[in-house]
Amino acid sequence: MEPAVDPLVFLGSLVTLVAGAAVLSLVRRAGREAKRNAAARADSARDLPPAPPTITPLGALPEPSVREEDGPLRQGLIVEFPIPLARTPAFSLKPLALTLQQAAPDPEVWHKTGDAEFDRAYLIECHHRSFVERWATPEARAAVARIHALVGADGFEISLAGNGLRIRTRRRLPEPEREPLVEACRTVARGVFAALGCPVDEEPGLRFVPVEQIDRAPGTCQVCGEAIESGPVACARCGTPSHADCWRYAGGCSTYGCGGQECRP
């Protein structure tokens, strides 16, 4: 006759088995999440070339939408600019003092501008150092300081993701103070468009110019901005030169409006 199984022993074994399975599931899930994050960082690093392509200006700066945020946890304004580009780098800027109260910044994406006073006051996070370097002009940094002066200690956040540039304040400004804020946001947006390689033209409308009128240094690749020292290719349609691998990266001619898909040595 087989001995009876102690219910308590059986229950303990069952709990141990279930707990072990749960821990194993969590470990596997964390591993998959780490791999996805690493892949996302790698994909993000490939999203943009190290320097912006030379593109015909897109036209006037898009008019931003301005709306009030009236939630239980947020009281402020959102100024948002649409960006008609397929891919943009993830970018965010916040006052450093407010950020350190929440969590330590990630050193892999934390970039400084070289302006010691600005870098002590603000945290910039972006996977593309070259984008930060192109954006952080004296005009853009001064506009950020103006936004900060208007909203005060309540803080703000500038973020670029998807197809939009968003400036969110944590304080709702009265009407007389909104126009200076929006104008400072416009300056930030102009810098973002220029850093993306598509500077805005203050004259409304889209301009097309003959390719021979485009001012570019001889032997310079329009995709990466580097000199073409060996193995160049040229668009069979307009003659624009580029590196062979940059041609493949762009999927064709980098001159805006050309659309050429064939190249020649």
Q: Give the residue among 178, 170, 168 at the shortest CA–CA distance from 74.
A: 170
How far is Cα 165 from Cα 130, in angstroms, rounded to an integer?
A: 18
With 90 as the cut, is the pLDDT of residue 141 above it?
yes
Highest mean pLDDT among 45-54, 105-114, 229-238: 229-238
The number of beta carbons lying within 10 Å of the beta carbon of residue 167 is 26
φ, ψ of residue 123 in degrees (nearest 5): -110, 125
With 60 as the cut, is the pLDDT of residue 2 above it?
no
Type of residue at 151: V
* 93 — pLDDT class (breaks 50, 70, 90): very high
Report pLDDT for 187: 93
Give the tokens for residue 169: 């304040």
Q: Give the residue among 263, 260, 264, 257 at the shortest CA–CA distance from 54.
A: 257
Please tell me the least confidently modeled range out of 53-62, 224-233, 248-257.
Answer: 53-62
Please tell me the least confidently modeled range out of 22-36, 101-115, 232-246, 249-263.
Answer: 22-36
- Average pLDDT over every residue of 47-76: 66
With 70 as the cut, is the pLDDT of residue 161 above it?
yes
Average pLDDT of the chain, as a whole number: 75
Residue 127, SS3?
Answer: coil
How far is Cα 238 from Cα 247, in angstroms, rounded to an integer?
A: 14
pTM of the model: 0.55
Please tell me the least confidently modeled range out of 91-105, 130-144, 206-220.
Answer: 206-220
Report pLDDT for 177: 79
- Average pLDDT over every residue of 13-29: 70
182, 64 in Cβ contact below 8 A?
yes
Residue 123, SS3?
Answer: strand
* Cα separation values, 51 from 19, 71, 92, 196, Å: 51, 40, 19, 9
125, 92 in Cβ contact below 8 A?
yes
- DSSP 8-state secondary structure symbol assigned to residue 201: -
Please tell me the least confidently modeled range out of 28-42, 71-85, 190-204, 222-236.
Answer: 28-42
With 70 as the cut, is the pLDDT of residue 83 above it?
yes
Angle, nearest 10°, between helix axes 138-151 and 175-195?
Answer: 150
How far is Cα 261 from Cα 250, in angstroms, rounded to an integer?
A: 10
With 60 as the cut, is the pLDDT of residue 238 above it?
yes
Highest mean pLDDT among 28-32, 85-89, 204-208: 85-89
* 139 — pLDDT class (breaks 50, 70, 90): very high
Tell me how far the alpha carbon of residue 178 is from its chain's centroid.
25
